[in-house]
Structure 1
Amino acid sequence: MNEAVVTVRGVGKTYRLYRKPSDRAKEALSIRRRKYHQDFHALNGVDLVVHQGETVGILGRNGSGKSTLLKILTGVTPQSIGEVEVRGKVAALLELGAGFNPDMTGMENIYLNGTMQGLSRMEIEALIPAIVEFADIGEFIDQPVKTYSSGMFVRLAFALAINVDPDVLIVDEALSVGDIYFQAKCYRKFEDFKKAGKTILFVTHDMNSVLKYCDRAMVLDHGVKLGEGSAKEMVDLYKRTMAETNGARAEDVRAHSAEGAWKEEMVVNTSAQDYGDGRMRIVDFGSFDDAGRIGQSLQKGREFAIKMRVSVLGDVPEPIFAMTIKDVKGNELTGTNSRLEMLDLGPVHGGMEFMVEFRSPMLLQGGQYLISLGCTSYDTSGELLVHHRLYDIFSIYIIASKFVVGAFDMGMGMSVDRTR
Structure 2
Amino acid sequence: MEAIKVENLTKIYKLYDKPIDRLKESLSFIKKSYHRDFYALNNVSFAVKKGETVGIIGKNGSGKSTLLKIITGVLSPTLGSVKSSGKISALLELGAGFNPEYTGIENIYLNGTMMGYKRDEIDEKLDSILEFADIGEFIYHPVKTYSSGMFVRLAFAVAINVDPDILIVDEALSVGDIFFQSKCYKKFDEFKNKGKTILFVTHDVGSIIKYCDRAIVLNDGILVEEGLPSEMVDVYKKILVNLYSKEDVEEKVLSDSVDTKVDWKKSLNINPNYLDYGNKNAEIIDFGVFDDKNNLTNTITKGKEFKLVFKVKFNESIKDPIFAFTIKDFKGTEITGTNTMLEHIDTGYVKRGKLVKVVFRQIVTLQGGDYLISLGCTGFESNNLVVYHRLYDVFNIHIVSEKNSVGFFDLNSKIDIKYLN
Give TM-score, length-normalised by structure 1: 0.68
In structure 2, which of residues 241, 262, 265 is the aligned counterpart of residue 278 of structure 1?
262
Q: Could you say which residue in structure 1 is the equivalent of 2:86?
A: 88
105, 108, 116: which one aligns with 1:107? 105
Answer whether contact 1:218 1:234 (CA < 8 A) is retained.
yes
1:301 aligns to what? none
Q: What does the per-residue CA deviation read over 1:93-151, in whole Å, with 9 as the maximum and x for residues that have no partner? A: 00111111111111111011000000000011111111011001111111111111111
- In the alignment, structure 1 residue 26 sits paired with structure 2 residue 10: no
Distance 1:121 1:355, change over 3 A: closer
- CA–CA distance in structure 1, aligned partners of residues 264 and 163 of structure 2: 53
- Aligned-partner residue type, residue 85 of structure 1: K
Following the alignment from structure 1 to structure 2, what is the Cα–Cα distance between the partners of residues 239 and 202? 19
In structure 2, the CA distance between the partners of 1:15 and 1:32, relative to structure 1 (3 Å rule), is same
Question: What are the residue-to-residue correspondences of 1:169-208 with 2, within 5 Å?
Answer: 169-208=167-206
* SS of residue in 1 equivalent to 2:77: coil
Describe the superposition over 1:296-332 as per-residue Cα deviations: whole angstroms up to 9, x where unpaired.
Answer: xxxxxxxxxxxxxxxxxx975574667779xxxx963
Question: 1:230: Cα distance to partner?
Answer: 0.7
2:262 maps to a residue whose letter is G
Q: Residues 173-252 of structure 1: matches in 2 within 5 Å?
A: 173-244=171-242, 250-251=248-249
The Cα shift of 1:26 comes to 2.0
What is the distance in 2 between the residues matched to 1:119 and 1:44? 35
SS at match of 1:139: helix
Residue 165 (1) aligns with residue 163 (2): yes
Deviation at 1:375, TM superposition (A): 12
Distance 1:376 1:51, change over 3 A: farther
For residue 357 of structure 2, the aligned residue among 336, 340, 353 is 353
Preserved CA contact (<8 Å) 1:111 1:124: yes
The structural deviation recorded for 1:29 is 1.6
Matched residues, number: 328
Cα shift at 1:358: 3.8
Given residue 206 of structure 2, which amino acid in structure 1 is its aligned partner?
N
CA positional deviation for 1:92: 0.3
Residues 110-189 of structure 1 correspond to what in structure 2 (within 5 A)? 110-189=108-187
Q: Structure 1 residue 354: deviation in Å?
A: 2.4
Which of the residues 332, 346, 355 maps onto 2:302?
332
Amino acid at match of 2:302: E
- Give 1:244's aligned amino acid: N
CA distance in 2, matches of 1:376, 1:61: 27
Partner amino acid for 1:134?
F
Instruction: Tell me the distance in 1 between the aligned counterparts of 2:229 and 2:156.
Output: 24
| Shift in alpha-carbon separation, 1:331–1:86, aligned structure 2, 3 A | farther
SS in 2 for 1:56: strand
- Provide structure 2 residue ranges, at least 5 long, that are not aligned to the other structure: 266-281, 294-299, 309-324, 328-335, 341-352, 367-372, 377-390, 398-409
Matched residues in 2 for 1:236 and 1:23: separation? 43
Identity of aligned residues (%): 48
Aligned residue identity for 1:23 = D
Cα distance change of structure 1 residues 197 and 246 upon mapping to structure 2, 3 Å threshold:
closer
Q: Is the 8 A contact 1:16 1:38 kept in 2?
A: yes
Structure 1 residues 216-243: Cα deviation after superposition (integer angstroms, max 9, x where no partner)? 0000000001001111111111011112
Sort the Cα spacing of 1:246 and 1:86 in 2 relative to 1 into closer, same or farther, 3 A: closer
- Cα deviation, 1:271-299, whole Å, max 9, x if unaligned, reads xxxxx983479xxxxxxxxxxxxxxxxxx
Say if 1:320 and 1:376, in contact at 8 Å, map to a contact too.
no
1:25-44 matches, cutoff 5 A? 25-44=23-42
The 2-side partners of 1:47 and 1:109 are apart by: 34
| Structure 2 letter corresponding to 1:185 | K
What residue is the counterpart of 2:383 in the other structure? Answer: none
Asked whether the 8 Å contact 1:217–1:231 carries over to 2, the reply is: yes
Q: How far apart are the structure 2 equivalents of 1:203 and 1:184?
A: 17
Change (3 A) 1:159 1:257: same
Instruction: Report if aligned partners of 2:44, 2:223 keep a CA contact under 8 Å in 1.
Output: yes
Distance 1:255 1:173, change over 3 A: closer
The verdict on how the C-alpha distance between 1:6 and 1:280 changes in structure 2, with shifts beyond 3 A counting, is closer
Match among 46, 50, 59 for residue 52 of structure 1? 50
The CA distance in 2 between the partners of 1:102 and 1:228, in whole Å, is 38
Equivalent-residue separation in structure 1 for 2:396 and 2:31 (angstroms): 45
Contact 1:58–1:220, Cα closer than 8 Å, also in 2: yes
- CA RMSD of superposed structures (Å): 4.1
Q: Tell me which amino acid in the other structure corresponds to 1:353.
A: K
SS in 1 for 2:241: helix
Inter-partner Cα distance in structure 1 for 2:66 and 2:363: 45
- After superposing the two structures, state which structure 1 stretch, 28-37 or 87-96, moved more: 28-37
Output the amino acid matched with 1:136.
D
- Asked if the contact 1:279–1:315 (Cα under 8 Å) also holds between the matched residues in 2, the reply is no
Amino acid at match of 2:185: Y
Partner of 2:355, secondary structure, is coil
SS at match of 1:82: strand
C-alpha change, 1:43 and 1:350, in structure 2 (3 Å) is farther
Tell me, in whole angstroms, the C-alpha distance in 2 between the residues paired with 1:9 and 1:357.
45
Distance 1:78 1:186 in 2: 29
Contact 2:10 2:80 (C-alpha < 8 Å) held by counterparts: yes
CA distance in 1, matches of 2:87, 2:220: 30
Amino acid at match of 2:17: R
